[in-house]
Amino acid sequence: MNLPDLSLQILYGRLGWAIVLATLLCALWRRSAPMSRVALAAVLALTLAAMALPGELSPAWWLGLAFQYPSALLVGCCLLRLAERWNGIRRSQVMPQALAGVLVVSGALLYLDAVGFLARGFYFAGFGQAAAPLVGIAAAIVCVFAIVRGHARWPAASLLGALALFALLRLPTGNLWDALIDPLLWAWAVAALLAAALRRTGRRVSDRLAEPESDPVPAPALQPLATEHFSSLKE
């Protein structure tokens, strides 16, 4: 087991939580008014200053107690979201459905394994000397392929950056899964899938309401009965 240096972990935790907290604060901004670049820079500077406070005065201390460290993928996705806000992009492309689906399934397996329902040692395999590097290499190849083909390029680049950070510095904890998923990122993926499902349901309902009603078959017109002609002359 090759763990990262403690000083690097502390530095990473403070920077990572500052980026995540800034993204959450920006998400709470009024949607009716776009966020200016000055306001975005001020929020990021405020979170960086708060995380730099010593000891228990830093929010990173309490966030670390609750969530340990943010995954490198979560930090990368938050950076992408901040970049979108900086450029005035309202509809986010940070969490595509394919990535969200993989994170939801992987996170569910890891959490079920952690609480003992599966007990297969999936989490501890992230410390492995063979399995973890092979999984990381396979994921990196998929990311490079997606970037070259232009499919979800920026989320793939964020995932590739998380894998590179783990390969070079073993951050955040020396476990591959801690670099790729955490409770906050898993909740983000679940919310993204639920939002996509609600949008599809709303479109289907609106399409049904927009369909023109079929014209009823017109009833056959009543024809007057043929009147019998009577002659006034007796035969």
Across residues 161-167, what is the average pLDDT? 95
CA 45-100-3 angle, 5° bins:
65
Across residues 227-235, what is the average pLDDT? 47
- The pair of structure tokens assigned to 128 is 């492995």
225 pLDDT above the threshold of 80: no
pLDDT tier at 204, thresholds 50, 70, 90: confident
Cα–Cα separations (whole angstroms), residue 210 to 25, 90, 198, 216: 38, 27, 18, 18
pLDDT given for residue 33 in this prediction: 64
Count of alpha carbons within 13 angstroms of residue 187, beta-carbon side: 5
pLDDT given for residue 76 in this prediction: 96
pLDDT tier at 220, thresholds 50, 70, 90: low
Count the neighbouring beta carbons within 10 Å of the beta carbon of residue 55. 6
Q: Which residue has the higher pLDDT, 34 or 3?
A: 3
pLDDT given for residue 234 in this prediction: 43
Q: Which residue has the higher pLDDT, 119 or 77?
A: 77
Q: Where are the domains of the chain?
A: 6-207
CA 101-102-108 angle, 5° bins:
90
227 pLDDT above the threshold of 90: no
**159: helix, strand or coil:** helix
CA 69-52-17 angle, 5° bins:
30
Task: Report the run of H or E that residue 9 belongs to, with start and end.
Answer: helix 6-27
pLDDT given for residue 224 in this prediction: 52
Gap between the Cα atoms of 110 and 174, Å rounded:
16
Gap between the terminal Cα atoms of the chain: 124
Across residues 1-11, what is the average pLDDT? 87
